[in-house]
Structure 1
Amino acid sequence: MKKNYLIAFLFLLAGINAFAQNEFDKYGPSGSQVFVDLKEALRIEKKVYKIDLSYQKIDPKLYEKLSKITDLQVLRLSTNELTEYPKNFDALFNLVYFASYNNKLTQFPSNLKPFSNLHYLELQHTAIDSIPAQIAYLSKLQSLKFGNTDDTLRLPVTFRFLKNLKDVSIENCIMDSFPKQIFKLPGLNYLNLSNTNTYYLTKHFERLQNLEVLVVENNHLAEIPFEIYKAYKLRVISFRGNKLYRLPDSISHLENLTLLDLRGNNFTVEEIEKLKVLLPGCEIKS
């Protein structure tokens, strides 16, 4: 049994890594070289568009010079023992992709205004406890992935001004209040709020006319609003690991729904059978 769990975990980890790699590959000029040696990138300096410094300890003197590579569009850091951004980080105004994994950064960059070209931002396993109001300057941001912190996360009221956001994933951190700002993003296509201490969902699903994937796993949901059917483009819903025992009959109006994951809740066999009747074209995992 332990062997099976280990195999499943390895497959999951491989899937996560593959997804992250696909996102990294998607950004920057097509066919551009990926530099993995910061010293070499600094020597060339011009027309260096992609840098991946994953799993290496970076020379502090070289790290402070990173901002000289002003053509840089794609930067990934991972497990570098970093707690701060490099000096003059805001000089990298051409960044369209920035990701940091397993570095104990304590805050977002202090000046976000220069990063108006940023499309993708991911910060995982940091020591960050709040998203600053300045995030509104990231007017082109389409994907935001944040999670695995040791503190309570606060969202600013300005979050709702990120009108180009299509993909939001916040996982494995305690949110200090219900993230109502997220539910004011009309272009949202994918929303993941997993293990975030969420107790309820907004009833204003009419604001989410483009939402196709909704994942709210390992939280405290005891009921789902009747108005969920108003997010009529929903294709995939996962409410795994909550406290649900029923769903509103209005869910039958979600004609595009193909997958509904309800594992780890309190549904009776009868309730699951009822849902199968209401959603004849949908796979229901219970």
Structure 2
Amino acid sequence: MRYVIFVLWIFCGLTMEAQNANPNEAQVYSNLTTALKIPEDVKQLSLRDQHLFYLPDNIGDLQSLLFLNAMGNNLESWNPNLLGLNTLEVLILKQNDLNYIPKDIAKLDHLILLNLAKNKLTDIPETLGQLKDLQFLHLSFNDITELPETITNCKQLEVLELDNNQLRFLPQNIAKLNGLKTLNLGYNQFYEFDPAWLIIKNLETLNLEHNHLIKLPTEIKNLKKLKTLVLNDNQLESLPEGIAKLPQLELLLLSNNSITTFPNDLSGLKNLKTLIISGNTIDQSEKERLVKELPNCKIFW
């Protein structure tokens, strides 16, 4: 249980700071009626968990708004006036009932963070690729089957969370996102490790848990900056030598596969601190070898 909590902290904690209003920068309003009395002064607005079914038309009066959190409501549609808030940098509409993203999302061209997780989205408009300043994109827990090629025009993107969707592949030019540091593809329908992912040189966290992967490419060693690799609950039977040549790797999750042995040379895993391999068939002699060759690593069997 301790390592489960630790992993949840890794994936939830890293971007929480970017999604929270900052009262040190400006007052955070939580009452829309109050905010609309002084629209030119309102920079941060939190309407979280207020049982809203729609945003009123006069939301468009808040022309200085930088931060809007309307998560945990019952929104089913986008008010067009929301898309006129072109100073907006953070938009959080997580956990609503939205089943589309309007093409005019491109009007919000100062967005740094967009969180649409836990909605009912099935596709993404090509115009999303016009958000040139976007750094954090959260689309987890939807029913998305594919991403538009234009997503790779978001050159500033650092975090892309796509877990718990219905994806089988990513755009072939995904490597154009060379600033990407976190890629979460867990709980999807990937059957192969796409070689295109190996070209994302700045990747630090890669999550592919609960997919259908049978093998990994030995070229995984090319991800030299990788710190966290999550591969639990796939169908892996063996590991390539390249996985032991990731010098920055700190956390490796391999639980619930069919792995019996590890690469012969583990000396390249100098920074590995946590290895989780429960739910595999590792015999006692292999366990003893892992303990010996990874003396600074905590291993969970």
With over 3 angstroms needed to count, the CA separation of the structure-2 counterparts of 1:98 and 1:158, relative to structure 1, is same
The equivalent residue for 2:194 is 202
| Matched residue type, 1:184 | K
SS at match of 1:89: helix
- Give, in whole Å, the separation in 1 of the partners of 2:68 and 2:243: 42
Secondary structure in structure 1 of the residue aligned to 2:80: coil
Percent of pairs with identical residues: 27
Alignment of 1:144-223 (within 5 A): 144-149=137-142, 151-175=143-167, 177-223=169-215
Partner Cα distance (2:2, 2:188) in 1: 27
Q: Match for 1:119 among 79, 89, 112? A: 112
Q: Output the amino acid matched with 2:247.
A: E
Distance 1:127 1:255, change over 3 A: same
Q: Which moved more, 1:223-232 or 1:62-71?
A: 62-71
Count of residues paired in the alignment = 276
Assess, with a 3 A threshold, how the Cα gap between structure 1 residues 162 and 17 changes in structure 2: closer, same or farther: closer
Q: 1:93 aligns with which of 63, 76, 86?
A: 86
Name 1:23's counterpart in structure 2.
18
Question: What is the CA distance between 1:106 and its match in structure 2?
Answer: 1.8
Q: Could you give the per-residue CA deviations for residues 193-250 of structure 1, whole angstroms, max 9, x where no partner exists?
A: 0101111122235521111111111111111112111111111111111111212102
Partners of 2:5 and 2:246 in 1: CA distance: 34
On the 8 A contact 2:102/2:125 being kept in 1, the answer is: no
Letter in 2 for 1:78: M
Q: Partners in 1 of 2:271 and 2:9 — Cα distance?
A: 30
Distance of 1:274 and 1:139 partners within structure 2: 45
Asked if the contact 1:120–1:143 (Cα under 8 Å) also holds between the matched residues in 2, the reply is yes
**1:86 CA drift (Å):** 1.9
Higher strand share: 1
Could you tell me how far apart the structure 2 residues matched to 1:9 and 1:259 are?
A: 12
What stretches of structure 2 of length at least 5 have no aligned partner?
278-301
* TM-score, length of structure 1 as denominator length: 0.86
* 82-91 vs 237-246, greater mean Cα deviation: 82-91
Q: Give 1:90 deviation, angstroms.
A: 1.8
**Aligned residue among 246, 250, 263 for 1:258:** 250
CA distance in 2, matches of 1:275, 1:178: 32
- The one-letter code matched in structure 2 to 1:94 is T
Name the aligned partner's letter for residue 164 of structure 1. Q
Give the superposition deviation at 1:75: 0.7
Q: Distance in 2 between matches of 1:130 and 1:158?
A: 13
Q: CA deviation at 1:31?
A: 2.6
* CA distance in 2 between partners of 1:39 and 1:184 (Å): 44
Structure 2 letter corresponding to 1:137 = Q
Alignment of 1:26-37 (within 5 A): 30-37=24-31
Q: TM-score, normalised by structure 2?
A: 0.82
The one-letter code matched in structure 1 to 2:276 is: K
1:279 is matched with 269
Deviation of 1:189 after TM superposition, in Å, equals 0.8
Change (3 A) 1:101 1:15: farther
Residue type of the alignment partner of 2:34: E
Is there any run of 5+ residues in structure 1 with no aligned partner, and where?
Answer: 1-5
What displacement does 1:186 show?
1.0
The equivalent residue for 1:3 is none
Q: Taking structure 1 as reference, are residues 103 and 13 closer, same or farther at Cα in structure 2, changes over 3 Å only?
A: farther
TM-superposed deviation, 1:101: 1.9
Match of 2:35 in 1: 41
User: CA RMSD, aligned part only?
Assistant: 2.8
1:245 to 2:240 alignment: no
